[in-house]
Amino acid sequence: MTTIAIVVSDLMFQSRIRAAAEALGFEVRIADSADAAASAVAGHPDIVAIDLHAAGIDAAATIRAAKDAGARVLAFGRHTEPQALRAARDAGADSVVARSQLVDELPELLRGLVGPRSGKREA
């Protein structure tokens, strides 16, 4: 079963991503704080979906940790803040989209991240 960690503090986006992930048969873990994000990534999810503007969460560090753990990363943020989107790409996110694109294409974006893991996973 594919596991997704949803690193999002906004309840609307949490529920939207959770519903799409559960519809695809994913096991869902919610992380809405820095400690919860670190714990979720340490649990070696297959996918991490991260809001680049989640309160109290260092998005770039979380992306790097997720990639180090072998997860695929879907990062999303405001289209009006291209520097945040660029920083997510630079940190190694597999897919970086504006919030509007996330809303319009969420199931397709998640399906596109399913597949062989991108790095090493501890047993």
SS3 for 73-120, per residue? EEEEECCCCHHHHHHHHHHCCCEEEEHHHHHHHHHHHHHHHCCCCCCC
Specify which residues 97 forms β-bridges with: 76
The distance from CA 113 to its chain's CA centroid, rounded to whole angstroms, is 10
Mind listing the pLDDT tens digit for each residue in 22-53? 999 999 999 999 999 999 999 999 999 999 99
Mind listing the pLDDT tens digit for each residue in 80-121? 999 999 999 999 999 999 999 999 999 999 999 986 555 543
Mind listing the pLDDT tens digit for each residue in 51-68? 999 999 999 999 999 999
Nearest to 50 by CA among 91, 80, 2, 108: 91
Task: Give whole-number Cα distances, 46 to 20, 75, 78, 94, 104, in Å.
Answer: 15, 14, 24, 12, 22
Q: What CA–CA distance (Å, rounded) separates 9 from 87?
A: 19
Architecture (CATH level 2) of domain 3-100: 3-Layer(aba) Sandwich (3.40)
Specify which residues 5 forms β-bridges with: 29, 48
Whole-structure pTM value: 0.90
- Domain parsing of the chain, residue ranges: 3-100
Q: What is the pLDDT of residue 120?
A: 42
Q: What CA–CA distance (Å, rounded) separates 100 from 98?
A: 5
